[in-house]
Chain A
Amino acid sequence: MRLTVENYPPGTIPPHAEALRAPVKAFIAEQLAGSPAHLRARSWSGFDAGFSKALAARGWVGVGIPKQYGGAGLDPFSRFVLVEELLAAGAPVAAHWFADRQSAPLILHYGSEAQRTSFLPRICRGELFFCIGMSEPNSGSDLASVRSRAERVPGGWKLNGQKIWTTYAHKSHYMIALIRTSGTSEDRQQGLSQFLVDLSLPGVTVNPIKLGTGDSDFNEVFFEDVILPEDALVGTEGNGWQQVNAELAFERSGPERIYSSLVLLDLWASLLGGDPTPDEAARLGRMLARLAPLRAMSVAMTGLLAAGQSPLTEAALFKDAGTALEQQIPAEIADAIAARPDRAADPELLRTLAYLMQLNHVFSLRGGTREILRGMIARGLGLR
């Protein structure tokens, strides 16, 4: 069956999930009172351990994790509502984001019982932050070529190698790393495994990478003879590629692929008030007309995830279209305000716009590049 609109069945968010929205909105309003737009625009790049702990105290970190492991035992629709509200408001969710979205589900599905009971409750309490170690200096889009290697040693594993572009490794407790455990990079997808790497272990060095903007969310992470315990391995040795792929539908199908510029759009909209020019109204409407079907597709994929499916190709198409829109929003607003060079722009709008204009070009890189995604779509269309 090739990829068509039928792959995104029309769906609605069930009432039990919608019921979460009002309390989440109230919590966010209280927590973010007075937070300026240019900080909120950081959204899932904004790191605030205090916010994540407060959110966890309400039971809203790891909502999809069963209660026995400290989670709220809610379904993907509930998580969609929670995440949609957090992102729309520009809540600083980065601290718990990767554990919540990827690491906790991975440990739940592939981890041992001991790993579940050890890690999941601490993630859900907002005490353990994770980063995701995928890219390496010579493995970007070609992820299967990773060279970091773990060898069996008595009682565990010895890890050597390097990861790069690891978001918030410098503020995380653990990394879930994709590591070669057998063969060579010639063996591609074979021989890869996933490890829980305690970043406080001897031999781990984390160096922040400074961006042109002065921000340093990214890091390079070095492993030099790091001794990992036996149970650092998650899932099955050699099954890393399959496990990583199972995460991708979660990573690419959510509202974070369409809302990264929403705080800016809404600040601009609020400044337009009730009296936009025809050009301004049309620019705003054009963005919304693009957002509307994408949100519907994200809801549709949430339904598929809730039904136990893994809509990988669907998520690839959604993410490619979504990140293009996230890039377009700052460009449209920049064009709109600078179409009137005679008029001073609102300072907070300028700060927020400048933050996103300096970063929107990389929105299509994180979580799988445009070219990789289009290759997946082409496969879904039967072309390869």
Chain B
Amino acid sequence: MSDNAAMQDENAFLIDAFRRQLSETVTPARIRGIERGEGADALWNELYDTGFLDALVPEASGGAGLTLAQAFPLLMAAGEHAVPLPFAETMVARGLLVRHGAPAPQRAVIVLGGDTQQVPGGRFATHALVERDGGGMLLRVTGDDLDVFGTGGCSSLDEGEVVARVPLPAGACQLAAAAVAAALMAGAMGRVLDMALRYAGARQQFGRALGKFQAIQQQLAVLAQEVITAQVAARSAFVGQDFDPARVAAAKCRANEAAGAACNIAHAIHGAIGATQEFDLQLYTRRLKEWQIAFGSETYWAARLGRLRLAAQTATSADFLRQHLAHEE
């Protein structure tokens, strides 16, 4: 077996292990408990102790030393399980901090800063990595109580003491925040597709399973298209060392567009039950809606991507796609 294949195998093993752990730890009952305000410390400690928060921390500093591409499936898995805490955000922040010379404080719950209407998981955050004065800054924070989706988000962060300063490139925090949102959305949409397929297979109407009706099949085919194209776009944002504006723009724009269609179709397949407290679908779709307004909408990122295309002055858009948005090893 080649080194590359061995590494891929090892990574697949790691992702499977992480998925299993999430299925055991982050159960829908637990998500509901945290949403009811029953406290998140216990779950955070369990997640912290898995060690996966240091997935992006270099091996020399005690982490797993994964690349962005290798870590992407972990973030998707977090979205797939509707992890109700800023786990993925903290993972990416810890990687950024260590790489720029400032290890994250023990057990810190870190969100990523940037202009946004809503900070997912912000009410649980102890710290935020934000951009200030041309660099990155790790601050102590307290989220406000404008948790409009009931997921533990907030609309702004009260800033406390400065814990560390790191030489982050301009825009890095916002790019990371939007990229993480796109990956979480990609995972959550995968779950929503799974649930819609399962429900269509089980639910009987007019004497047969919903999934046997052509009208339903055609809708599910569209749902799969939206989900898979958004997942490919998100995956393409997780290449190289640092997040790239064009890749993140395409990923967040596609995720936002797809999420609208995905929620509409999945809920249409489920009927009213899908939106009820007792049914799990809403745990994922409420988060998808929150992520849509977090760190820039499709129009915001589309405009940035459009300007990048014009500034690049490539002869064709195919050239732009190849040079700025294609997969890279």
Q: Hey, which bits of chain A sit against chain B, CB under 8 A?
A: 2-5, 8, 10-13, 84-85, 87-89, 255, 259, 262, 265-266, 269, 272-274, 276, 278, 280-297, 299, 317, 320-321, 371, 373-375, 377-378, 380-384
Judge whether A8 and B317 touch: CB under 8 Å.
Answer: no
Give the contacting residue for A283; candidates B201, B228, B302; CB below 8 A: B302
Stretch at the interface among B59-67, B114-122, B148-156, B219-227: B219-227
B173 close to chain A: CB less than 8 A: no
B301 contacts A by Cβ under 8 Å: yes
**With A5-B228, A282-B299, A382-B197 given, can you name 12 additional A-B contacts, CB distance below 8 Å?**
A3-B224, A10-B236, A85-B318, A262-B318, A266-B317, A285-B249, A286-B302, A286-B305, A287-B317, A293-B250, A375-B218, A383-B212
CA distance A57 to B85 in the complex (A): 62
The verdict on B44 contacting chain A, using a C-beta distance below 8 Å, is: no
A8 and chain B: residue at smallest CB distance: B232
Which B residues touch A255, using CB under 8 A? 318
Contacts of B315 in A (CB 8 A): 266
Do B326 and A296 have beta carbons less than 8 Å apart?
Answer: yes
> Is B304 touching A285 in the complex (CB atoms < 8 A)?
yes
Residues of B within 8 A of A293 (CB): 229-230, 232-233, 236, 250, 254
Docked Cα-Cα span, A262 to B259, in Å, equals 26
From A291, which residue of chain B is reached at the shortest CB distance?
B321
Which residues on A sit within 8 Å (CB–CB) of B310? 269, 272-274, 276, 281, 284
Identify which of B225, B299, B325 contacts A377 (C-beta below 8 A): B225
Interface residue from B216, B228, B298, B326 paired with A8 (Cβ < 8 Å): B228
Contacts of A286 in B (CB 8 A): 253, 257, 298-299, 302, 305-306
Q: A266-B316, A285-B301, A296-B232 are in contact. Are A378 and B254 (CB under 8 A)?
A: no
Secondary structure type dominating chain A contacts: helix
Chain A CB within 8 A of B10 CB:
no
Alpha-carbon separation in the docked complex, A75 to B218 (Å): 35
Residues of A within 8 A of B320 (CB): 288
The answer to whether the Cβ of B303 comes within 8 Å of any Cβ in the partner chain is yes
Q: Which residue of B lies closest to A382 (CB)?
A: B197
Q: How far is the CA of A12 from the CA of B329 in the complex (A)?
A: 7
Contact A289–B319 (Cβ < 8 Å): no
Closest to B186 in A: A5
Point out the residues of chain A lying under 8 angstroms from B307, CB to CB: 276, 281, 285
Q: Shortest distance in angstroms between B151's beta carbon and chain A's nearest beta carbon?
A: 25
Q: Given A11-B327, A292-B250, A295-B326: A374 and B222 within 8 A (CB)?
A: yes
* B241 located at the interface, meaning its Cβ lies under 8 Å from any Cβ of chain A in the complex: no
Q: Are B220 and A381 in contact (CB under 8 A)?
A: yes
Alpha-carbon distance between A295 and B233 when the two chains are bound, in angstroms: 10
**Residue contact B302 to A282, C-beta cutoff 8 Å:** yes
- Residue B214 at the chain A interface, CB threshold 8 Å: yes
Complex interface: chain B residues within 8 A of A383 (CB)? 197, 200-201, 211-212, 216-217, 220
User: Are A289 and B321 in touch, CB under 8 angstroms?
Assistant: no
A299 touches B327 (CB 8 A): yes
A296:B327 contact, CB within 8 angstroms = yes
Residues of chain B in range 227-254 having any CB-CB distance to chain A below 8 Å: 227-233, 235-236, 249-250, 253-254
Determine if B197 and A276 form an interchain contact, defined as CB atoms under 8 angstroms apart.
no
Contact B229 A288 (CB under 8 A): no
- Collect the chain B residues with CB atoms within 8 Å of residue A320's CB: 221, 225
Residues of A within 8 A of B221 (CB): 317, 320, 373-375, 377-378, 381
The one of B249, B253, B306 that contacts A276, using a Cβ cutoff of 8 Å:
B306
Which of A2, A285, A295, A374 is in CB contact (< 8 Å) with B309? A285
- C-alpha gap A48/B218 in the complex (Å): 39
Q: Do A262 and B316 touch across chains, with their CB atoms under 8 A apart? A: yes
| Cα-based distance from A265 to B319 in the complex (angstroms) | 13
Nearest B residue to A10, CB-CB: B327
**When the two chains form their complex, are residues A289 and B228 in contact, meaning their CB atoms are under 8 A apart?**
no
Q: Which residues of chain B are within 8 angstroms of A378 by Cβ–Cβ distance?
A: 217-218, 220-221
In the complex, what distance in Å separates the CA atom of A174 from the CA atom of B303? 48
* B-side contacts of A374, CB under 8 Å: 217-218, 221-222
Residues of A within 8 A of B84 (CB): none
> For A87, A287, A317, A374, which residue has the most chain B Cβ atoms within 10 angstroms?
A374
| A11–B197 CA distance with the chains assembled, in angstroms | 28
A residues in contact with B329, CB < 8 Å: 12
On whether A288 and B327 interact (CB within 8 A), knowing A4-B228, A5-B232, A295-B321, the answer reads no
Instruction: Return B206 CB to nearest CB of chain A, in Å.
Output: 16
Residues from chain A with Cβ under 8 Å of B220 in the complex: 378, 381, 383
